[in-house]
Amino acid sequence: MENLDNKLFRIEGKVQNYDWGGKSFIPNLISESADANTTYAEYWLGAHLKAPSNVITNKGSVSLDIFLNENPIANLGEEVANTFGKIPYLFKVLDVHKMLSIQVHPSISAAKIGYKKENELGIPLTASNRNFKDENHKPEIMVALTDFWLLHGFLGSEKLVKNLKETVELSFLLNTFLEDGYLGLYKKVMEYTQEEVNAILRPLVKRILPKFRNHELDKSSPAYWAAKSLDNKDSEDIDKGIFSIYFFNILNLSRGEAIFQDAGVPHAYLEGVNMELMANSDNVLRAGLTSKHIDVKDLIKNTKFEETIPNILNGIKNKANGEVVYKTKARDFELSKIELVNTVEYSAISNSVEILMALKGNGTVSQNNESITLNKGESVLIKANTAYQINTISEVEIYKASVPK
């Protein structure tokens, strides 16, 4: 397929045009002309079967999953090949223009059970009511590339009590929370019928929507995001995800700050652009702000009902080689950022298959007699156990997906 001595390859990702995406960030990044009527939500780099990347070899372009399968030990490294059998991560750029659905990801054990059960029930993998698309968990880390807003886990009890007290339309839920805790509160609102949701939330909507349209609400307030999710909606029905906006932490990350989302932590991306690295899975249990299927029973079974104290990561810096590593407990992936000027060289040995993407500037990735230039929006794949260097004559910012040692 390619010269077996080659360790570095150009790799091209796939764009996903979901309706919540922006119009320009991703086309500008990857130097593609943008269609005015198209939204560009995600750019995928990985071997997920839904949209595998293409590796450019001297024999032409080949799908990354096929490329890696040709020689898994050499490409992935022995440990990763034996543990995962494939590239264990999926690397993405996201441009969040409209709010994403609130979601929870299952643990590996829950995913295995759920996947088997749905197979036995004969639910097709592509069915809209399918919860478990594979047997994997889907922890994920994201680094903000712009000012970024998201929901992340349940508020501490004091803050949640404060939200309920201060929101007159929801104050009746205070006793439920004080008596039955996070699970009792969440179960109650998620099990409401659509008619009950409409009756409870209509007065809230009537109060906050005019304020939103008059720019009177602050982004740090749940009312802002509740109203934004409803603005320009045709449907008379109100999404029950509105309740969660008042129950969850609202986080604002600055460029370069990161957050890790583990199994069971409910979350939703609200606005901004990020780099995201996750386990190679498509398992999502939706919880609102969506027209897609919500399975309340499985959702509750897979959600952590406890306060989440957000742990915003700034990464571990190594000034000598220009790298910032965002450490998490995930075994499947590790995300780092490499920022170089012409006086700093980056050098490393790949533990497994690595994917690097340049966000700005340009640099050269080299090993022995091989080198690939990396301009803004371009990506390179590095095979396992490769000693390589990155240099720039000006400056370059690169994000790197790898597997921790």
| Residues taking part in catalysis | 286
Amino acid letter, residue 198? N
Exposed, middle or buried by CB within 10 Å (0-12, 13-18, 19+), for 372? buried
315-336 burial by CB neighbour count: b if 16+ within 10 A, else e? beeeeeebbbbbebebebbbbb
| Cβ neighbours of residue 110 closer than 8 Å, sequence gap 6 or more | 263, 301, 302
